[in-house]
Amino acid sequence: MANLDKYEAVIGLEIHAQLATQSKLFCGDATSFGAAPNTHVSPITLGHPGTLPKTNATAVAYAIKMGLACNCAIEKNNYFARKNYFYPDLPKGYQISQHTTPICVGGKVPIQLNGKEIEVILNRIHLEEDAGKSIHDLSPTDTFIDLNRAGTPLIEIVTEPCIHSAEEAFLYVSEVRKIVRWLDICDGNMEEGSLRCDANISVRLKGATQLGTRVEVKNLNSIRNIKKAIEYEIERLIDMVENGETIIQQTRSFNADNDTTFSIRDKEDANDYRYFPDPDLAPFHLTDDYINEIKASLPLLPNALKIEWKSKYGLSDYDVDQMGENKQEADFYTLWTTQTTHYKAAINWILGPIREYLNESNSSYAQLIPLLPHLTSLLDLVETNQLSFSVASSKVLKGIIANPQNPLEFATTNNLLQSNSAEEITNWVDQVLIANPEKVAEYKKGKKGLIGLFVGEVKKLSKGQADPKITTQLLEQKLSQ
């Protein structure tokens, strides 16, 4: 076990997020995932001589959105540079990237670590194009190349070396994924490679101010793997230092089969890439008006929304923390609050039966919006004790979705309304007590916990129609006689 009292881990993360534009960063080829290999490959993607790239304005707008959401400064004067290297899956022989003028500068992403807010400080967010894919596992002897992804727009979100544990890294990447999804600029699917992370890791003695030599673990494709790779590297690096070994700057890869990393190459330096401004692409200038327009279009981010919900609807931290992962869900709730004042009950409905229904039926919140008035009536029926929550959620909800109608009508037709009538409930209570003489005797001897069993039996017998409060009162009365 590495000595974490003596050493401090220092981590900087680079996250590549594939922007959800229709077309590539510098040409009209589609970006959609899963197409037959090498079908989205115009002469521009293939790097044919004489072709000219043209910048995708939507990609630029998405990068600005992310920058504004992360409190970055937006660079108004931008250009693209060529980063020259040979890669079989990038036919031009260079990658077009922003070199010294990232479109977003600085910034921060707050995360909650053990109930305390800390800020992950960003260095920059820049735009660049993705490479294609080399596929090594289809043949034992050959490598296949799919260039569909070549030229897809990416933003690279780079932190300062300010993260100090695998747990912090895990929370940060989760938060970034949440934000890009919330802004609808990237689908955040790590399995499909839409979000990939490189982790830079070094260690130093606690209290030291200079950074140690770092290693970089490339292309981590799940949040779990990011955490595992960092945990492994911290241990490995501390052990090396303890054993008096010298750490060399290396690029490494993660092996998910045994949660270890291995070296792929010693690190190259930036000047090996011979950066120069791409002469085929005009520099682009952003106006204040344009940036402000994008700012005005940004949705409230999850953290801000939670604060608003708490003050406006009197919700607890617990309630709001359950929400805010999914923008469609949050929008649905916000819309619902314009129709009902049972704010807390509406959240319970969303977190319970509504999510369950959407999962089971593979449908979306958009499909439920037209039903909101009926859902509001349903919620009212439960809140006024005309319908039990269990009957409402297990039977009426599905009924009114399958065949949109007023829930009161549905419940009446199907004989599901809850009974508040003491007479009717007494009848059920009596039946239950007669059917369970031994339990009644045990209760009378002091086993008061059995009340729950009796209430449950009455619920069953009445098919959920007996109001549980009245049932309990009547049972207690009868059993104390």
Closer Cβ to ligand ADP, 269 or 423, answer by number:
269
Q: How far is the CB of 157 from ligand ADP (least distance, A)?
A: 9
Residue 303 burial by Cβ neighbours in a 10 Å radius (0-12, 13-18, 19+): middle
Closer Cβ to ligand ADP, 240 or 345, answer by number:
240
Closer Cβ to ligand ADP, 204 or 355, answer by number:
204
Q: How far is the CB of 230 from ligand ADP (least distance, A)?
A: 11
Neighbours of 52 (CB within 10 A): 9
Q: How far is the CB of 159 from ligand ADP (least distance, A)?
A: 5
Q: Structure tokens of 32?
A: 């959609």
Closer Cβ to ligand ADP, 100 or 481, answer by number:
100
Closer Cβ to ligand ADP, 201 or 220, answer by number:
201
Q: How far is the CB of 300 from ligand ADP (least distance, A)?
A: 28
Closer Cβ to ligand ADP, 83 or 92, answer by number:
83
Draw the binding track, 204-243, toward ligand ADP (x: CB under 6 A; -: no contact).
Answer: -------xx-x-----------------------------
**Chosen residue from 10, 74, 237, 354 binding ligand ADP by CB under 6 A:** 10
Output the residue with the shortest Cβ distance to ligand ADP.
Answer: 12
Q: How far is the CB of 370 from ligand ADP (least distance, A)?
A: 46
Subset of 354-373 contacting ligand ADP (CB under 6 A): none
Closer Cβ to ligand ADP, 46 or 121, answer by number:
121
Draw the binding track, 155-174, toward ligand ADP (x: CB under 6 A; -: no contact).
Answer: ---xxxx-------------
* Rounded alpha-carbon distances, angstroms, from residue 470 to 133, 139, 422: 66, 71, 7
102 forms part of the interface with ligand ADP (CB under 6 A): no
Closer Cβ to ligand ADP, 214 or 252, answer by number:
214
Q: Buried b vs exposed e over 326-356: b needs ≥16 C-beta within 10 Å?
A: ebebbebbeebbeebebbeebbbbbeebbee
Closer Cβ to ligand ADP, 69 or 158, answer by number:
158
* Rounded alpha-carbon distances, angstroms, from residue 179 to 21, 157, 175, 183, 321: 16, 12, 6, 6, 15
| Contacts (Cβ under 8 Å, ≥6 apart) of 78 | 98, 101, 103, 283, 284, 285, 286
- Per CB under 6 A, which region of 8-16, 36-44, 68-76, 342-350 contacts ligand ADP? 8-16
Residue count, binding to ligand ADP (CB under 6 A): 15
| Contacts (Cβ under 8 Å, ≥6 apart) of 463 | 391, 415, 416
Subset of 185-204 contacting ligand ADP (CB under 6 A): 200-202
Place of tokens 């017998």: 461
Q: How far is the CB of 210 from ligand ADP (least distance, A)?
A: 9
Draw the binding track, 11-30, toward ligand ADP (x: CB under 6 A; -: no contact).
Answer: xxxx----------------
Closer Cβ to ligand ADP, 263 or 367, answer by number:
263
Closer Cβ to ligand ADP, 60 or 201, answer by number:
201
Q: How far is the CB of 43 from ligand ADP (least distance, A)?
A: 30
Q: How far is the CB of 10 from ligand ADP (least distance, A)?
A: 4
Chain residues that interact with ligand ADP, rule: CB under 6 A? 10-14, 158-161, 200-202, 211-212, 214
